[in-house]
Structure 1
Amino acid sequence: MHVVFYRNLNLGHAGSPNREQLEGALERGGALRVRSFQTNGTVLLEADAPERVVAAAAGELGSLAGYDDAAIVRPLADLEELLALGVFEKHQSPRTYRETVTFFQGGKEPSWSTPWTNSKDDVDVLHVGDGIALSLIRKPRNSAGSPTFELERATGGVATTRTRGSIDRLLNAAAKWK
């Protein structure tokens, strides 16, 4: 099983497909099973060639809804293994607003030594490996830190972020879906 993390996709919003359009495009692209999870462009996908399914669905999503941003495909097992490392548990802080998981592709790997803190002191990147970064964000004023921004700036590629809570709920939903 795989997960597709669409960048800047919010089901039913302008420039994004609705749930039926998203799931239908992936099914017509060759997915064996599809389940859109939440509304943030996260999709559970069972397919023999998931990257090809996502690529095949891209044109339809563009014509139906005008969506043409990035989609990052990851094996579900990668997420389970990553969270099992206990990285977040080793970096508990009362200043943390959210624990986040950022998926990135294209460009280069960040050159930071981890843990790394941005200059605004609102993002701590704790772990980077194989296109995934685990971060803590803070919300010192009205806006929270953005690991997506930091990863895109460091890599020159594209990135999309989900909270750890979303990833935990995704893993629970996937276990029931199997």
Structure 2
Amino acid sequence: MSYTHAVFYRAMNLGHRGSPVRGVLEQALRDAGARAVRSFQTNGTVLLDLEVAGSAEALVAAAAPSLAARAGYAGAGLVRSLDELAAAVEGDPFAVTRDERTYRETVTLVDGGAPLPVALPWTDPRDTLDLVAARPGLVLAVVRGGPGAGGDPNGHVERLTGGVATTRTLGTVRRLLAAAAPD
């Protein structure tokens, strides 16, 4: 099966309170018009292919009432084409600020709001986060510190842009792209 897009749901943890189980999530997207759906991991990351002409964003919006009714989920689903994701993480975009303190390299998707109002690379005042690169709707960041002590790319991007954001690790995005590759 070939996939063309990915949906990144904000604050979704499959099977947890306020989030759907995998089957409900996948069925809501199929009912909204996806030809193929594959939930990837439990963090609300989904591969999809469209059955009918139209936008993936419209499909995700059409699935939202079902997710709210069946699972109580009312968060945002941010959609990106797989080509767009692949271009964003091609090569080694994190080399600019990676050092021995690097904990995670992340991809933050953002919808709405204004462009980042800071020059890149930008480091937060606590020196726990570098925003490395930005494209429309997407910000790459290096997080320093360990679990619970590191920078917060999601929070910083939302505060700086006023948009709605969700973040995944570079490893998750690269595994997602590999899983979407045609057999």
Given the two structures, how large is their TM-score scaled by the length of structure 1? 0.95
Alignment of 1:72-111 (within 5 A): 72-111=78-117
Q: How many residues align?
A: 177
For residue 57 of structure 1, the aligned residue among 49, 60, 63 is: 63
Matched, 1:11 2:14: yes
Partner of 1:26: 29
Change (3 A) 1:102 1:142: closer
Partner of 1:158: 164
The 8 Å contact of residues 97 and 130 in structure 2, kept in 1 or not, is answered as: no
Alignment of 1:112-123 (within 5 A): 112-123=118-129
Deviations 1:21-41 (A, max 9, x none): 000000000001100000000
Given the two structures, how large is their TM-score scaled by the length of structure 2? 0.93
Aligned-residue offset at 1:159: 0.4
Distance 1:99 1:88 in 2: 7
Aligned-residue offset at 1:141: 7.8
Q: Which runs of 5 or more structure 2 residues have no equivalent in the other structure?
A: none
Runs of 4+ in 1 over 3 A off after TM superposition: none
Distance 2:139 2:164 in 1: 13
The 8 Å contact of residues 7 and 78 in structure 2, kept in 1 or not, is answered as: yes
For residue 130 of structure 1, the aligned residue among 129, 136, 140 is: 136
Aligned-residue offset at 1:91: 3.2
The 8 Å contact of residues 122 and 140 in structure 1, kept in 2 or not, is answered as: no
Q: Which runs of 5 or more structure 1 residues have no equivalent in the other structure?
A: none
Distance 2:96 2:155 in 1: 24
Change (3 A) 1:80 1:142: closer
Identity %: 48
